[in-house]
Chains A and B, each alone.
Chain A
Amino acid sequence: MRPLDWAVLISWLVLLVSFGLWRSRGSNTVSQFLLAGKTMPWYAMGLSIMATQAGAITFISTPGQGYVDGMRFVQVYFGLPIAMVILSATVVPIFHRARVYTAYEYLEQRFDAKTRALVSVLFLIERGLSAGVALAAPGIVLSAILHLPFGWTSILMGCLVILFTTLGGIKAITWADVPQMTVILSALILALGIAIHLLPPGVSFLDAAKLAGAAGKLNAVVPQFDWKDRYNLWSGVIGGTFLALAYFGTDQSQVQRYLTGKSIGQSRLSLLFNAMAKVPMQFLILFIGAMVFVFFLFDKPPLLFHPAELARVQQSAQYPSIESRYNDAFERRRAAAIEMKDGNDSAVQRFRSAQKDFDAARADALRLTKEGDTNYIFLTFVMRYLPAGIVGLVLAVIFTAAMSSSAGEINSLATVTVIDIYRRHLRPDESDHHYLAASRVATVFWGAFATIFATFGANFGALIEAVNQVGSLFYGGLLGVFVLAFFAKKVGGTAAFYGVIAGELAIFATARFTSIKFLWYNVIGALVVVTVGLILSRFGRGPRAHATGL
């Protein structure tokens, strides 16, 4: 990092935090602190929803995914616009009219206290773990790239998040996300432009696309159906719809965003803005990865992008032979790529053969490591090839993206802790001032929890991966109970409660005993909750005692 990069990085951190805090002045009631006094315009909510979802690790790893696996990951987002339309038409007006702070508060209005408590606890477990991951995962990567001790980056981000969220509440988070998301998009476009600009003379944009296509990297749509294939059109449209319905309809970290809207229409517009912008944005990020792949066809990349793992592999006895094969495959691939660029189609077979040998050498090296290097590909490109100032800007964006998603999660955890647990079950009759103080204490607690978790995260990389998978184990259950709440008027609290338990058992059994991929867990879980809820309601003591909303 050059001095200009540090100056840009620090300036951006200070500017963003100051801007958020300035916009949040006057957040001195619970409604202001947790729901921004229900005053937010659609564009601020929309950009904030996008920023919370696009955490730093997405920004770091998605181009790497495009480099390694091609663009098929974009299909995961095909269900998102469908889900946004369904939520705008159904859930948004229901939550607004119920005048709730949390999605789970509505479950008590519709079912009973035990269903609300069960779902709140499921959310706290799932989101509590992922709040730590939101800080830990980018912390690990940034430490390796910047050669800083691991804990430093996580503690720095954690302290800023705690300070920022405790003082400013959701208003500070949401307003800070507006410039944040704007700069993220600008940095992405800049990175794509530079990747194309850095291609050797004579290699046009179309040549680059053809080379990426020949290597199978431009596989944006895979129409063949396969249960065991993580990313295809059908898992994206069907599984992706259920995932997005669960995430945006039942996860408080997202629901809280559009509950801050000044009207139903403003909240709807924020979701529909995401519906229209998200898929092209993900396509752009993955395409950057494909262009970085083409850049490295002509400029030799390191055998492994993870610096520490590369150093480890270099100590092994197999390294000389792997390196020799790797160098040979790279030279053959480069020669074939130049011939293809010049219009010699007969070089395609040699290109593919060299690519296969290149991948095989990398795979042999990766077998000697503890973790993969996908997350390090884009940052290696940024650090080595982007000009001074832009490197600092990209790293600043990654830092603040991690802070943004973590702050949103911590704020939602504090909200559920105070509104659904503390105020509902422990201290129901205190003043607004008391609950505001409790919200700030809960924010500090969850912020400290996430930071401590993130600080220890370096010691168990596999745990982070496991925690990410844990998140997908809960959404099906949450989605199912809200489907019952909104659309099955005859189902009561007890049937819904046991439906959630059955749904969660079904998801855990699917994950443990089958090879079905995670996007389908949400479908399976939601269907089991709804089916069990409907069956139990037919044999139960009749419908719930009280209901609101529909």
Chain B
Amino acid sequence: MPEDEYIKDEPPPFLGRWPRVYALVLCELALLILAFYLFTIHFAPAPQ
């Protein structure tokens, strides 16, 4: 394969720019942690 394609820094296939994709990934992480926290609280054993 051509070497220039290997080092070419093309835009992502969605959202237009890589920083937006990074933001999407970090938002998903924040939402997952929040969801897991609510899940933990909801099912946590009541204090004895």
Q: Does A350 contact B (CB under 8 A)?
A: no
How many B residues are at the interface, by size bracket? 20 to 34
Within 8 A of A (CB), among B2-42: 3, 5-13, 18, 21-22, 25-26, 28-29, 32-33, 36-37, 39-40, 42
Interface centre among B7, B11, B44 (most CB of A within 10 A): B7
Q: A214 to B45, Cβ gap below 8 A?
A: yes
Give chain A residues whose Cβ lies under 8 Å from the Cβ of B18.
Answer: 88-89, 268
Question: What bracket does the count of chain A residues touching chain B fall in?
Answer: 35 or more
| Contact across chains for A81 and B40 when beta carbons are under 8 A apart | no
A352 at the interface (CB under 8 A from B): yes
A210 to B25, CA, bound (A): 31
Instruction: Indicate with 1 or 0, residue by residue over A336-354, a CB within 8 angstroms of chain B CB atoms.
Output: 0000000000001100100
Question: How many cross-chain pairs have Cβ atoms below 8 Å apart between A and B?
Answer: 99
Contact partner, B28, options A39, A88, A276, Cβ 8 Å = A276
Query: Contact at B11–A219, with CB atoms within 8 Å?
Result: no
* Chain A positions within 8 Å of B48 at CB level: 349, 352
Contact of A272 with B by CB under 8 A:
yes
Assess A265 versus B29: contact at CB under 8 Å? Given A214-B45, A215-B45, A348-B45.
Answer: no
> In the complex, which residues of chain B have a beta carbon less than 8 angstroms from the beta carbon of A279?
29, 32
Which of chain B's residues has its CB closest to A219's CB?
B40
Stretch with Cβ within 8 A of B (4 or more), from A91-99, A182-190, A381-389:
A91-99
Q: Which residues of B contact A233 (CB under 8 A)?
A: 33
Contact residues in A for B37 (Cβ distance below 8 Å): 220-221, 223
Report if A505 contacts B (CB, 8 A). Answer: no
A221 near B25: Cβ-Cβ < 8 Å: no
Also in contact, A85 and B45, with CB within 8 A (given A264-B7, A279-B32)? no
| Contact residues of A between 22 and 56, Cβ < 8 Å to B | 37-39
Given the interface pairs A88-B18, A264-B10, the reply to whether A39 lies near B1 with Cβ below 8 Å is yes
Per-residue contact bits, chain A 265-278, to B (CB 8 Å; 1 contact, 0 not):
10011001001100
Instruction: Let me know if A262 is at the binding interface, CB within 8 A.
Output: yes
- Could you say which residues of chain B place their CB within 8 Å of the CB of A38? 1, 6
CB-nearest residue of chain A to B30? A81
Q: 1/0 per position for A68-81, CB-CB distance to B under 8 A?
A: 00000010001001
Q: Is the CB of B7 within 8 A of A81?
A: no
Nearest-CB residue, chain A, relative to B21: A272
Considering only residues 181-233 of chain A, those with a C-beta below 8 Å from chain B are 209-210, 212-216, 218-223, 233
B39 → chain A, closest Cβ, in Å? 6
Q: How far is the CA of A74 from the CA of B21 in the complex (A)?
A: 23
Q: How far does the Cβ of A224 sit from chain B's closest Cβ, in whole Å?
A: 12
Q: Is the CB of A93 within 8 A of B5?
A: no
Question: How near does chain B come to A245, taking the closest CB pair, in angstroms?
Answer: 15
Q: Which residue of B lies closest to A70 (CB)?
A: B40
Q: How far, in Å, is B31 (CB) from chain A's closest CB?
A: 11
User: Which chain A residues border B33 with CB–CB below 8 Å?
Assistant: 78, 221, 233
B2 to chain A, nearest CB (A): 10
In this complex, what residue of B is CB-closest to A209? B43
* Contact flag A89-B43 (CB < 8 Å), given A265-B9, A276-B28: no
Q: B45 touching A96 by the CB < 8 A rule?
A: no
- Are A81 and B29 closer than 8 Å at their CB atoms? yes
A263-B6, A264-B8, A272-B25 are contacts. A210–B43 as well, Cβ < 8 Å? yes
* Contacts known (A81-B29, A218-B39); A263 close to B8, Cβ less than 8 A: yes
Assuming the contacts A39-B1, A96-B6, A221-B40, asked whether A280 and B32 have C-beta atoms less than 8 A apart, the reply is: yes
Interface centre among B5, B7, B10, B45 (most CB of A within 10 A): B45
Tell me if B32 and A85 are in contact (CB < 8 A): no
* CB of B7, distance to nearest CB on chain A (Å): 5
One digit per residue, 1 when the CB lies within 8 angstroms of any chain B CB and 0 when it does not, for chain A 1-38 equals 00000000000000000000000000000000000011
Does A295 sit at the interface, judged by CB under 8 A?
no
B36 touches A283 (CB 8 A): yes
A213-B44, A264-B10 known; A85 and B36 CB under 8 Å? Answer: no
Complex contact A262–B6 (CB within 8 A): yes
Among A237-274, those with CB < 8 Å from B are 262-265, 268-269, 272
27 interchain pairs, CB-CB under 8 A: A39-B1, A78-B33, A81-B29, A85-B22, A85-B25, A85-B26, A88-B22, A93-B7, A93-B9, A96-B7, A214-B43, A216-B44, A218-B40, A218-B44, A220-B39, A221-B40, A262-B5, A262-B6, A263-B7, A263-B8, A264-B8, A265-B11, A265-B13, A269-B13, A275-B29, A279-B32, A349-B48
Which residues of B does A touch, CB under 8 Å? Answer: 1, 3, 5-13, 18, 21-22, 25-26, 28-29, 32-33, 36-37, 39-40, 42-46, 48
Q: Besides the contacts A99-B3, A213-B44, what 18 more A-B pairs have beta carbons closer than 8 Å?
A: A78-B29, A81-B29, A85-B26, A88-B22, A89-B18, A210-B43, A214-B43, A218-B44, A219-B40, A219-B44, A221-B37, A221-B39, A221-B40, A262-B1, A265-B8, A265-B13, A348-B46, A352-B48
- The interface of chain A, by Cβ under 8 A from chain B, is 37-39, 74, 78, 81-82, 84-85, 88-89, 93, 96-97, 99, 209-210, 212-216, 218-223, 233, 262-265, 268-269, 272, 275-276, 279-280, 283, 348-349, 352
